[in-house]
Each structure stands twice: as structure tokens, then as C-alpha cells.
Copies of this chain bind each other. A is one copy, B any other.
Amino acid sequence: MRRTVTILGATGSIGRSTRAVIAENPEQLQIAALVAGRDAVGLARIARETGASFAAIADEGQGGELAAALAGSGIRHGAGREAVLEAVERDSDIVVSAISGAAGLEATFAALTPGRVVALANKESLVCAGAAVMGRARAVGTRVLPLDSEHNALFQVLGAEPISAVRTMTLTASGGPFRTWSAERIAGATPEQALAHPNYAMGAKITIDSASMMNKGLELIEASFLFGLGAEQLEVLVHPQQIVHGLVTFRDGSVSAGMAVPDMRVAAAHCLGIDGRLDAPPSRFLDLVAAGPLVFERPDLARFPALRLAMAALAEGGAAPAVLNAANEIAVEAFLAGRIGFPAIPALVEAVCARARSVSRPPADVAEALAVDQDARNRARALLSEGGFAVT
């Protein structure tokens, strides 16, 4: 019997990878419901192509356009928060949670139901509310699988070993477009330069985070909640080839490394085939001879202070990761809009974090996480409008 998959974030890059894997395995998998943020026309097209039974658009204002685009298809649909939650609640074996931002957090929580598999790519679910999400998943019996390449690699190579067998986990980072740049040159980086990621085509936000290495910092925080490891057991190595995605070092000196071509479909296929590996097409297998020498470097926290800030937030715990994440989102928006320079991203994040030292308890649920998130955004916006971070 085919397993049914609901995709939250169907029109984004992870949604696209997920759909590609489902299309490659029509005997094993079929789409249930689809959710997108704002692109009603794209969502309707995908829903028709994949034979989805339900399509929801988060942006309520796009409801009319979705209805028009689905006219005559027989596909049920809806718009707004309630429609998104209806999509999540409809019957499906696997929910792929790839809506970015706070909207994805609520939908992810709703997806945590007994017996289900939730393939998680929504960063906020773990960064802002990791303790709550993982606690709920354990309590209700949901299997949470990481869909990011790095966490998926770590999940696979940890396998059935208890976490007590682990000495450290290492996430690799491409190093981004500024890996070899001097601090001075990075200080003058433009949005266009920061958007030139060497290996993956991703959304603008995550590409800027990759350039600042904040992305890797947020991933460290995600790994902490996913695997139950503290900051002192989590490390980053820069690995420009992006062939090794994560490494588990066991207490006895054995190291298991998760590798794959840099293609999000590999991790997606692992999650969708969790109860029986799917077959990848021949072109998706790693050729280590062709991949060339694999090189590993320590990250430079002086040139990439965002990574240092994320490590500090992880070590601090409580609401610090949620504050960091919210401040960073505002900072990246401002950078992309040309309002602040590249070094002002970590500077603004640091300023916001410095004023939020008092929230020592991690958010207990979605509402608390969203409140912390909103508060940090407001503080970041206030600091921005004071003008101290503006491009001069």
C-alpha cells in the first residue's frame, strides 16, 4: 500500500525536492494534502499534477486566486490558518514540515500526532521551541526525522546507537561565498555577493544565513534539541565540497560520517523511505573519485561572528535561541533591503540578544515561542529604526 505524504511548504525548495522523490516512487508514495504560503497559482498547478486531495494557502488573501486556479479540478481547498491546520489534520502517514518561519511552527505542532512520521525542515520548530516539540513528539509517539542534509546525515549515522555512546557530533558547513574573504572584504559585501551560494540553490534568507554562517549556528541549536546534546558536544567544521554532511564521533574513537551528493532529494528520500529505503536514480549516487579531495577547516569565529553568537545562545539556553533567530530574521531582511551592511547582521543580533538575558526558561508551547519571537522582532526593529546599524 502506498504511503501518503502531506507537504507543508509545497512550493519551496524542500517542497520541490520532496515532490521529486514522490514522483520517482509512484508505487510507494502518493501526495495527500499540500500547503503553500502565498503562491496560489503554483500551489494549484502542483495540486493538479500530483493528484492532491486538498490544497491550502496560508495567505488568506490568496484564497480567491487558489479557488479560481483549482476550478473544475475537484480538489478541495481553503485559505488561511484554519485551512492550513485542516491540511495537517487530514489523514496522512508522513508530514513534511517545510514552511519557513513562525507559520511553520504552529503547523508542525499540529502535525505531531500518534504513529505519524514528521519530516522536519522548519527551523523555528526546533530553534524556538525545540524542547516543546521534541517533548510532545515523545509523549504522543510521533517519529520526528530531520530533513536538513546535515541533521539527516547525523540521524542516519547515529542509527540505533544510544546518545550516551556519542562523544561529539559535527555539522559541516560549506563556508559560503565568503569562506576565503578577509574580514575587511566581508564588511563590504553586497546582497548580490552574499546570495551567490557555491553549492545549493536555496531561498534568499537561508542563503544569506549561509554567507554569515548563522545558518550553521541555527543548525547547531536544532541538533541540540533533535539529539539531546549540549553545546559542548556539538561542533562545526568547514567542508567546502559539501560531500560529508555530518559526523558522529563515538566515545571509543570510531567516527561515522554521513555523506551524499549535495542534493536535498537524498535526505528527502531517506525520510520518505524510513520504513524501507527508496531507490535513487543512478545519477544521484556519490562518486568519491570525481568529488575530488575532501578538505576540512575549523570555522573562523572572528570573521563569522554569527556562528559565535549562535553557539553562545545555545550554551545560554532558555529563550536565547528564539531571540537570536528572530533578531537574525529582521537583520537579514534589513540587509537584503539595503538598509544595513553585512557586518550589521551579527551586530544587530548581538545587540538584541544582549537585552534579552532575562528569559531563562525555554518556551513551553507555540504561544510562548511566538511571544518571545515577536518581542525579539520588535526590539530588533526598534534598534534598526534608531539608526545605529544603518548603512552610512
Using a CB–CB distance below 8 Å, which chain A residues touch chain B? 152-153, 156-157, 159-161, 165, 167, 237, 244, 247, 249-261, 263, 265-267, 269-270, 273, 276-280, 284-286, 288-289, 291, 293-298
User: Chain B residues near A265 (CB, 8 Å)?
Assistant: 253
Say yes or no: A244 contacts B266, CB within 8 Å.
Answer: no
Take A237-B289, A289-B237 as given contacts and tell me if A284 and B253 are in contact as well, using a CB distance cutoff of 8 Å.
Answer: yes
Q: Is the CB of B259 within 8 A of A279?
A: no
Most B CB within 10 A of own CB, among A252, A258, A266? A252
Q: How many whole Å from A157's CB to the nearest CB in chain B?
A: 5
A269 contacts B252, C-beta separation under 8 Å:
yes
Interface contact A251-B237, CB-CB below 8 Å: no
Other A-B pairs beyond A249-B285, A289-B297, 15, CB < 8 Å: A157-B256, A159-B160, A159-B161, A161-B277, A165-B276, A237-B289, A247-B259, A249-B286, A250-B270, A252-B266, A253-B261, A253-B280, A254-B266, A255-B260, A256-B258
B255 lies within 8 A of A259 (CB): yes
A156–B250 Cα gap in the complex (Å)? 11
Q: Specify the chain B residue showing the minimal Cβ separation from A251.
A: B277
**Prevailing SS type, chain A contact patch:** mixed
Say yes or no: A250-B237 contact (C-beta < 8 A), given A255-B286, A258-B256.
no
Q: Is the CB of B254 within 8 A of A156?
A: yes
Cβ-neighbour of A253 out of B249, B252, B256, B286 (below 8 A): B286
The answer to whether B258 touches A254 (Cβ under 8 A) is yes
> Shortest beta-carbon distance, A388 to chain B, in Å?
37
Contact B156 A256 (CB under 8 A): yes
17 contacts between A and B (CB under 8 A): A153-B254, A156-B254, A157-B159, A160-B160, A244-B257, A251-B279, A252-B269, A252-B270, A252-B273, A252-B278, A253-B266, A254-B267, A254-B269, A256-B256, A256-B259, A288-B296, A289-B297
**Of all chain B residues, which has the CB nearest A286?**
B255
Residues of B within 8 A of A298 (CB): 289
Identity of the chain B residue whose Cβ is nearest the Cβ of A291 in the assembled complex: B296
- A270 to B285, Cβ gap below 8 A? no
Least Cβ distance of A122 to chain B in Å? 22
Residue of B249, B259, B266, B293 near A257 (CB, 8 A) is: B259
Residues in B with CB closer than 8 Å to A167 are: 285
Contacts of A295 in B (CB 8 A): 293-294
Residues of B within 8 A of A294 (CB): 293-295
With a cutoff of 8 Å between Cβ atoms, the chain B residues found around residue A284 in the complex are 253
Contact B237 A252 (CB under 8 A): no
Closest to A25 in B: B252
Which residues from B are CB-within-8-Å of A278?
251-252
C-alpha spacing A365/B289, complex, angstroms:
40
Chain B residues near A256 (CB-CB < 8 A): 156-157, 256-259
A249, chain B: closest CB distance, angstroms: 6
Contact yes or no, B237 A288, CB < 8 A: yes
Cα-based distance from A160 to B265 in the complex (angstroms): 23
What is the distance, in angstroms, from A248's C-beta to the closest C-beta of chain B?
10
Write the nearest CB–CB distance from A264 to chain B, whole angstroms. Answer: 11
Chain B hits for A165, CB < 8 A: 276-277
Contacts of A279 in B (CB 8 A): 251-252
